[in-house]
Amino acid sequence: MTIFSRIINGEIPCYKIAEDDRFFAFLDINPVNWGHTLVVPKHEEDYIFDLDDDELAAMTLFAKRVAKAIKEAIPCKKVGVTVLGLEVPHAHIHLVPLKCEGDMDFHKKISDPDPEKMKQIAAAVSSKFE
């Protein structure tokens, strides 16, 4: 079982943003910028482009709803989208609020982010999710 499945199952804590019957969104534990969120399918699949068409399309639409919530909760110009998947073998989309290109620099992660700030950001984004 992947670490993200264990988060979805509630075995490992996370800063949850939203979920529906098929997808789950939570804050990245080492964000590249405040509000950096991961969107994952509940169904375990390593490579995002191995998801079937219906699941990939639905995941994109779920990510769109999460991105809208991020944009409303966190001052930014746009919400950037990245797929890496080199570390955790469970398909996921990174959503990152951007004011400039450098806000999406994966070499500059915030290590050991303040838990209270993460909690506040998760609550703010979550409250805007529709």
- Catalytic residue ranges: 92
Residue number, 76 or 95, with CB nearest to ligand AMP: 95
Q: Which residues in 79-108 contact ligand AMP (CB under 6 A)? A: 84-88
Which residues are registered as beta bridge partners of 82?
94
Residue 68 within binding range of ligand AMP, rule CB under 6 A = no
Residues contacting ligand AMP: total by CB under 6 A: 12
Residue 42 within binding range of ligand AMP, rule CB under 6 A = no
* Three-state SS letters, the chain: CCHHHHHHCCCCCCCEEEECCCEEEEECCCCCCCCCEEEEECCCCCCHHHCCHHHHHHHHHHHHHHHHHHHHHCCCCEEEEECCCCCCCCCCEEEEEECCHHHHCCCCCCCCCCHHHHHHHHHHHHHHCC
Residue 80 Cβ vs ligand AMP, minimum distance, rounded to whole Å: 14
Binding residue for ligand AMP (CB under 6 A) from 8, 17, 18, 29?
A: 29
Residue number, 55 or 85, with CB nearest to ligand AMP: 85
Tokens linked to 50: 């191995």
Residue 3 within binding range of ligand AMP, rule CB under 6 A = yes
Query: What is the binding site for ligand AMP (CB under 6 A)?
Result: 3, 12, 14, 28-30, 38, 84-88
